[in-house]
Chain A
């Protein structure tokens, strides 16, 4: 069966190193998973829609389309640049305007680019807590790429991390996941719901 992956790239530059990293991870995932359909989404193109959604509380049609793709995907790849200790505000605004339960139980591979290797813990200190809050199923290996990694001596180390992470992702997709996914149905039998027709249950 085809595995659907959405790769979110929060790189703001054009061209973007973060996008380049996302593409490398996607290539590795294709190799691991075989039958894969991939949608790569660049948040830069949605910057105005994301700001509008932050202010109005609803997503424009094209931003909503991306949220729907994210929710429907079998797995996510998230690649962000690290600015000033953490991911860009635009990326956080994208997540803030998303439904809180949108990616419960979904396998997510986290990746980041930074100006120096000293930012490498940002994946664990900034990204991972955010996705823990969202109750995603986070791939253990995070992929951080500093400028050094794009040189010939670094390439193999980066590629090895990428392959290790996509290998973990493939294994997670094969397994039972967290056993939890987004619940779309209205629960008619919660205590609160039942107390409406039967006040004694209040």
Chain B
């Protein structure tokens, strides 16, 4: 089980002290948060990609490479890289470069934008979002898996005799997750290629995510990658914790009440009951998180959202310290319940080893 954090990268006023960080402060805070994640032994840090205020992460590989240079074990990832509006050639090049720089300590999650105008801003048609996702991903795969690409599609200039550089490290392309909560085609795409599938699992009741996860698991098996329970599943989650659960509720409530996504709506109590958000003691967070596996099946990656809604950097770092304290138990409990046939989360080293083993069998 890989456990980590993911960020949207929002610049949100702190409703308690009334200040708003500058973009510069937010970007630097993101780096501090990632370094802290490495320090407490988390496995993954993922950043979003957005091209509109109030979000700062428009250039994920720049930020991830900078973090990569200052961390040791952390896997750097995205949440998500826009497969619809980015040129697949540039995705292939940027992420392969990152892969070399951080010695394979990275992967990426593909998704679509959070705002409709991002399509026209990049010269794309939103009504073709699903088709763009499929075509762009099929091209991305070719760019990473084939040394010389001849390709023609609907949405991009054809390529004749094109070689994407650098080639993936050790001849193994970055592992790809597909993030989606609504679109069956994305689950099918992940299943066909044997890639990972991620449900953000933060803003809605968990029942909303189960249908596509189950669909992905069945289709993963259908395409011969293994049994349904061996499919590679990732989940989001969010918490706010303090040693004493009432302290957590009192401190988080003013942030919750005006938060960009759910503010001015349901009460904190109603929302925590209906969705995976947990506000309480570390023990409560631990118990709630372990229940995800009861509902979705044993899975490979758990990412938490910890740095949104205007929470100050100091508070976010304290949240990570608290997560660090329950981390060993969380790992142990997840490992204990995971059946032997359910695989670990993919890493570059494991995938290189698998590739070499396959080569030996052939020769």
Q: Which A residues lie at the B interface, using CB under 8 A?
A: 51-52, 54-58, 60-61, 186-188, 192-193, 195-197, 199, 202
Contact = CB atoms under 8 A, between A and B. Distances in A.
Main secondary structure on A side of the interface with B: helix
Contact of B131 (A56, A187, A188, A192): A192
Given A57-B204, A193-B185, A202-B154, A52 B266 contact: yes
A58 B134 contact: no
A58 B205 contact: yes
Contacts, number: 57
Given A55-B262, A58-B208, 12 more contacts: A51-B265, A56-B271, A58-B204, A58-B205, A60-B266, A188-B188, A192-B130, A192-B131, A193-B184, A193-B185, A196-B185, A202-B138
A197 B141 CA distance: 13
B54 interface: no
A196 B188 contact: yes
A60 B274 CA distance: 7
Nearest to A55: B265
Nearest to A49: B266
Given A58-B205, A192-B130, A202-B154, A52 B192 contact: no
A60 B270 contact: yes
B8 to A, nearest CB: 15
B358 to A, nearest CB: 22
Nearest to A61: B274
A3 to B, nearest CB: 29
A121 to B, nearest CB: 34
Nearest to B155: A202
Contacts of B261: 56
Contact of A202 (B135, B189, B203, B265): B135
Interface pairs A-B: 10 shortest CB-CB: A55-B265, A52-B266, A186-B184, A58-B204, A52-B265, A56-B262, A199-B138, A196-B188, A56-B265, A196-B192
Contact of B192 (A57, A197, A202): A197
A7 to B, nearest CB: 27
